[in-house]
């Protein structure tokens, strides 16, 4: 879909209006599923989660979400322009993201599509501090990928969106848990520290196979600042192939990061 800057005519507030134009709304079940997933995510109140104001179906038949308007840049732009990020800056971004995920995980919400494009860094003028993180699109991934089919690499729309950050269990079509978000965030952390994702391949299936079987190349992390060895050990834990070997959820991972 597309995102537009819009104005709430009743309050004169600016909002970001996401319009999912390519989703069929002729099926009432699809609309119900959309409203169910977004309604749950709209209950999230952590300061590091983008606020959702309204959602529904337009008269033209489009699914729409009115969200908090953010001024800043996606983390993907910061990685492209500034990488490798310092360990201090990267950890700062990860901690804030884990705070957003922790609230969601307690509520039974798994993001399922965590990546730099879904992590937004606010301008300091808007947030009052450097690199204030907002996590986007809770609930959207679950709506787009029906649990009854499974989040495998062969699903339309899933193949090209997230294979660089996909967890091994998602690549295998296994059940997605909070530990899946921890893996994806580990990939993002690796990318912040090195400027590149741990795995590349010519096809999405090739990427999935590497996530499933290939050890992460932690020797690529060359920065020397603070307790880098401790950060590497924590990153290795986040990138464990088996979900039960990772921190079980964001709260558990956050506790480990607080000890750095």
Residues that are catalytic: 113
CA distance 168 to 223: 27
Contact 4, 16 (CB under 8 A): yes
How is residue 58 written in tokens?
A: 């337009």
Q: Look up residue 158 and give its two tokens.
A: 């899933």
- Distance of alpha carbon 236 from alpha carbon 188, whole angstroms: 13
Partners of 122 in the β-ladder: 72, 132
In 3-state terms the chain splits into helix, strand, coil percentages (rounded to 5) of: 45, 15, 40
Q: Residue 27 has which token pair? A: 């099926």
Token representation of residue 235: 């990153």
CA separation, residue 50 to residues 88, 187, 223, 240, 249 (Å) = 24, 22, 31, 29, 20
């Amino acid at each position: 879909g597309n995102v537009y800057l819009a104005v709430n005519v009743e309050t004169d507030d600016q909002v970001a209006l996401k319009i999912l134009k390519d989703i069929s709304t002729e099926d009432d079940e699809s609309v119900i599923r959309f409203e169910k997933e977004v309604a749950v995510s709209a209950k999230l109140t952590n300061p590091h989660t983008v606020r959702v104001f309204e959602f529904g179906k337009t008269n033209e038949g489009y699914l729409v979400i009115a969200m908090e308007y953010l001024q800043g840049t996606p983390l993907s732009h910061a990685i492209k322009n500034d990488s490798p990020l310092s360990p201090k800056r990267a950890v700062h971004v990860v901690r804030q993201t884990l705070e957003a995920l922790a609230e969601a995980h307690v509520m039974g919400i798994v993001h399922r599509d965590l990546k730099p494009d879904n992590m937004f860094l606010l301008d300091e003028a808007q947030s009052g501090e450097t690199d204030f993180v907002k996590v986007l699109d809770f609930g959207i991934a679950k709506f787009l990928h029906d649990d009854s089919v499974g989040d495998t690499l062969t699903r339309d729309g899933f193949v090209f969106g997230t294979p660089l950050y996909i967890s091994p269990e998602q690549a295998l079509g296994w059940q997605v848990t909070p530990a899946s978000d921890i893996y994806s965030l580990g990939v993002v952390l690796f990318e912040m520290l090195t400027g590149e994702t741990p795995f590349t391949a010519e096809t999405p299936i090739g990427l999935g196979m590497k996530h499933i079987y290939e050890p992460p190349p932690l020797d690529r992390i060359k920065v020397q600042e603070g307790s880098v060895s401790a950060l590497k050990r924590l990153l290795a834990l986040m990138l464990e192939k088996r979900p039960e070997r990772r921190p079980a959820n964001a709260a558990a991972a956050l506790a480990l990061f607080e000890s750095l």
